[in-house]
Structure 1
């Protein structure tokens, strides 16, 4: 069982253009689609597509139209009733795979909402292998919300608590790294650099630059870091070593949700007892598969690209 929390879900509307985006102009769209989105929900959709049990926890009003898209996804969900409707994110993609995103703010949460979400996550996490805390935080949650969730789950289950993965950025990620002791974080290269308050050096090899930054955090503050690098692949760093790999050649349709799918691939391999190299390989395959699909579609095992993925050790 893999449990996810999406505190700030979104209805993802993806519009595909027949030519590159021209700001200020009128353009024809080739297609449009809507998906139940938010990082944790995206992870649960990929996990469910692989036939593994998952529960997605999210705040959701009883009359929110988002629920229809969520039910259509087939993901088992535990909804925490709130006032207000889920935000909408708009993604515009062109034939070259260039992506432009417009993300709206989420519904503000009150103290009672926050407490109810924490209680629901604790209940859902009983017997789970992993708990994924993913995405931005809505107004009212506070920067330390994920730390609050981690402490509540570990207090409830002790040594039987699930391992915890966090995919966040900015102040929320900083708070988790400072005091949450997560088992895994999954930033991209820019989010990792922001966390460490350093600038990426374009003249240096990106995986080794990422390794140098990640080693400041692993294993002193976090158990492992899976750092996605877009077209450059990903780097995995844990207490025993570091590895990197690049994705196979694909035709990019939309990069939205690719990082979420990479995390899901890692967790699927981890749940099967695979070692770090296969976890990274699975993360690369799932991220590439997501990028080859339009919108925020969840890749299934049949969507994974063919071809060997060579894993290289870093030191």
Structure 2
């Protein structure tokens, strides 16, 4: 794999997965298997990219006892952990034998604004060795809506392409700085512009991908080119982390050929499909992604 991917995730979590014969609210439920992972969108995307053979460097904010647990768990990418000054959240995914998924996610805790200069400095340092920057996940309360926009500016100054996958006011501010690609889902796009790819392009993004889960994705390029991604249905699909896998697949192919967004979209959708086959999130490989390519169409 050619090139190095830098993934920045500001809303890290300790992800816990439990597999149960059945799950019934209001009773005692006993899982047959449990697993703890360093997670959140940034580390999930980095894990998926590493599984595809990409050289990945990650920056992740962690704090408190939970943050120390996240760090001790390890990660397949090379992670630079920074102290958030706030307890890292925990997220729980319960999957029963019938394929019913229950998710319980703690809110992202506020991070003191004085943490931001150290994050900004770390990203500036790491950009010197990066070929592509991915800003993945939401911004914790307290840091301000400007922070992703500042990181887009840093990437531009370093001559490094940047992909933004976030939401809310921080996403809107980052889009106005003209990131190379904005990759969001339909709800995230609608919350910023009330519409799809065209609204984000008008706001400042050079190229836009809006994903729709089972319905595929829509792309609008800097040159006005429009592409539609469709794929076959997956029975019992598990969506946790599939958007992060989509980002990883797109980035992996981008590093091979930055000019071919059509192929990048096809690989991205295949990566999302591979991720949706099972838990935990982000466990994909080049082989599992290649096996999904025949089910994906870009037109």
- The equivalences for 1:26-41 within 5 A come to 26-41=28-43
Where does residue 179 of structure 2 map in the other structure? 182
TM-score, normalisation: structure 1: 0.84
Unaligned runs of 5+ in 1: 199-212
Where does residue 70 of structure 2 map in the other structure? 66
Deviation at 1:257, TM superposition (A): 0.7
Deviation at 1:303, TM superposition (A): 1.9
Conservation of the 8 A alpha-carbon contact between 1:266 and 1:280: yes
From 35, 56, 68, the counterpart of 2:58: 56
Instruction: Count matched residues.
Output: 291
Of the structure 1 ranges 9-18 and 260-269, higher mean CA displacement relative to structure 2 is found in 9-18
From 108, 122, 125, the counterpart of 2:124: 122
From 210, 221, 230, the counterpart of 2:204: 221
Conservation of the 8 A alpha-carbon contact between 2:274 and 2:292: no
SS in 1 for 2:201: coil
Separation (CA, whole Å) in 2 of partners of 1:107 and 1:312:
39
Conservation of the 8 A alpha-carbon contact between 1:265 and 1:283: yes
Where does residue 18 of structure 2 map in the other structure? 15
From 270, 275, 293, the counterpart of 2:260: 275
Deviation at 1:97, TM superposition (A): 4.1
Deviation at 1:116, TM superposition (A): 0.2
Deviation at 1:7, TM superposition (A): 0.7
Unaligned runs of 5+ in 2: none
Separation (CA, whole Å) in 1 of partners of 2:72 and 2:256:
32
Conservation of the 8 A alpha-carbon contact between 2:269 and 2:296: no
Conservation of the 8 A alpha-carbon contact between 2:64 and 2:86: no
Where does residue 285 of structure 1 map in the other structure? 270
Q: Which runs of at least 4 in structure 1 moved beyond 6 Å after TM superposition?
A: none
- The equivalences for 1:130-149 within 5 A come to 130-149=132-151
Separation (CA, whole Å) in 2 of partners of 1:255 and 1:35:
17
Separation (CA, whole Å) in 1 of partners of 2:185 and 2:98:
21
Separation (CA, whole Å) in 2 of partners of 1:285 and 1:85:
35
Where does residue 287 of structure 2 map in the other structure? 302
Deviation at 1:124, TM superposition (A): 0.5
In structure 2, do the counterparts of structure 1 residues 180 and 114 end up closer, same or farther at CA, with 3 Å as the change threshold? same
Where does residue 7 of structure 2 map in the other structure? 4
Where does residue 85 of structure 1 map in the other structure? 87
Conservation of the 8 A alpha-carbon contact between 2:245 and 2:282: no
Alpha-carbon RMSD across the aligned residues, in angstroms, is 2.3
In structure 2, do the counterparts of structure 1 residues 134 and 312 end up closer, same or farther at CA, with 3 Å as the change threshold? closer
- The equivalences for 1:247-262 within 5 A come to 247-252=231-236, 254-262=238-246
